[in-house]
Structure 1
Amino acid sequence: MNYWLIKSEPNTYSWDDLVRLGRDHWDGVRNFKARNHIKQMKVGDLCLFYHSVNEKAVVGIAEVVKEYYQDPTTDDHRWYVMDVVPVKKLKRPITLAEVKADDRLSEMQLVKYSRLSVQAVKKEEFDIILELSER
């Protein structure tokens, strides 16, 4: 199993939107590195769901339930989506400031490449985020 972080502006698409829909494709990715991450995702992989822009916080966990396929929002065959379902909302959101303040997360892609919309996450980083959310 691999771990990921997927980012969305909550006023465009939020955790609550995914929960309401129950299952959805992750579209609109127009960065080649993020696209390549989508192509690596496998059914069962877990994703930290991150609200970007104003909130800047990890708010939930989603699971990949369908591997990459053509993005239905564009005719450009270079772009892909994957399907995710909500697994659980975090007990409390973990802000970017908290992530940056924790030395154990200093190498996390969220800290180093904060603009990338789909990022790889190490299992240890994933576990630390969950641990922080329980405090």
Structure 2
Amino acid sequence: MTETSPRTSGPRILLYSDDRTVRDQVRLAVGPRLRAHAPEIEWAEVATPSAVVDAADRERWDLVVLDGEADKAGGMGLARQLKSEVYECPPVLVLTGRAEDAWLASWSLADAVVSRPLDAIAVQATIAGLLAGARV
């Protein structure tokens, strides 16, 4: 009888933006894995505020990335809502329109902020850092 090692699953990230190009930029910045030989990241992309809330209520995530510049409901308001309403809310990263909006993101209770234009290295490093802290 051959023993097989259990499959190590990668981190699960919920990514919200009403703009597909923003979602693409984030995924491309991070890549399929956090580092070489790490398990692949499982991305779930949503484009509406209700989909964010529904996904956060129904499933467990390692990280939530929210677009602070989304039209109908920005990520800052959603971050505050999730932090207030979701039991054991995962870390939340908010993408802001400008660096000067970081103070507002602190109101949202976000765990981290990355401002536009999105720098791939900053996005990847921030996500990796948040996930490292989430994996206790």
| Common fold by TM > 0.5 | no
TM-score (norm 2): 0.29
Larger helix share, 1 or 2: 2
Q: Which has the larger radius of gyration?
A: 2
Between 1 and 2, higher relative CO (CA 8 Å, sep ≥ 6) is seen in 1
